[in-house]
Amino acid sequence: MQCFKFIKVMMILFNLLIFLCGAALLAVGIWVSVDGTSFLKIFGSMSSSAMQFVNVGYFLIAAGVVVFILGFLGCYGAHSENKCALMTFFFILLIIFIAELAAAVVALVYTTMAEQFLTLLVVPAIRKDYGYQTDFTQVWNSTMEGLKCCGFNNYTDFNTSRFVEENKVFPPYCCINPVNSTAEDPCTEEKAKTMKVQGCFKQLLHDIRTNAVTVGGVAVGIAALELAAMFVSMYLYCHLQ
């Protein structure tokens, strides 16, 4: 009986934390979606790089709603000993866990297919919108600067683009000097070809593989928490009268 009470209290506290995190995510998502300009002022000089966050406002709202509901169901189900709430909590977590597992398998098995599919979507967008669509350009500049990469595949993604045809130069990130890691400007096609800067997709994969232990540890930790939460909710469900 003491074990049951202890697990019940821990379930309530754990899901109360999830509930508050969901509320915070939801609040930030609404703020970003409704008043993105005001939100970006807190970043000061970093506002141009932070502009990309405005584009994920709806994602934050969706994630916040799911986490909010999940926390509420777990906390309410444990506190009131409601079997229906506990079972709903269990199934939502199970669906999330299966979705994450499926996404991991797809990422491992179909990386090449994903690259080809994304190339068909991203490269035409780069050639059309880079340098002319503000949010799109800022997101790509932040990505290329942060990862020290150029385009999706490499500098050739900018060939025949509006930006290159009108400015006669490539983005400076396509001419990063490997010695001092600084972007050389102006960046001509010849210089970009000589520098051989890696594409952002391959650079991202390289960084993930380089930090595979950290990424894997975080993934295993999240999976372990989800499994533990499912186990505890089922334990409480089975021991309720």
Cβ-Cβ contacts under 8 Å for 198 (sequence gap 6 or more): 148, 149, 150, 154, 206
pTM summary value: 0.59
Q: Which two tokens stand for residue 183?
A: 């972007």
Per-residue pLDDT tens for 179-212? 777 777 788 888 888 888 888 888 888 777 777 6
Q: What are the tokens at 174?
A: 């396509």
Please determine, for residue 120, whether its predicted confidence score (pLDDT) is greater than 70: yes
More confident of the two residues 75 and 106: 75
Asked if residue 185 lies in contact with residue 172, where contact means CB atoms within 8 angstroms, the answer is yes
Q: Which residues pair with 187 in a beta bridge?
A: 170
For 176, list phi and psi in degrees, rounded to 5.
-85, 120
pLDDT tens for each residue of 122-158:
888 888 888 888 878 888 888 888 888 888 888 888 8
Average pLDDT, the chain: 80
Q: Check if the beta carbon of residue 161 is closer than 8 Å to that of residue 174.
A: no
- Cα 137 to its chain centre, rounded Å, is 19
Residue 23 has pLDDT above 70, yes or no: yes
CA distance 49 to 43: 9
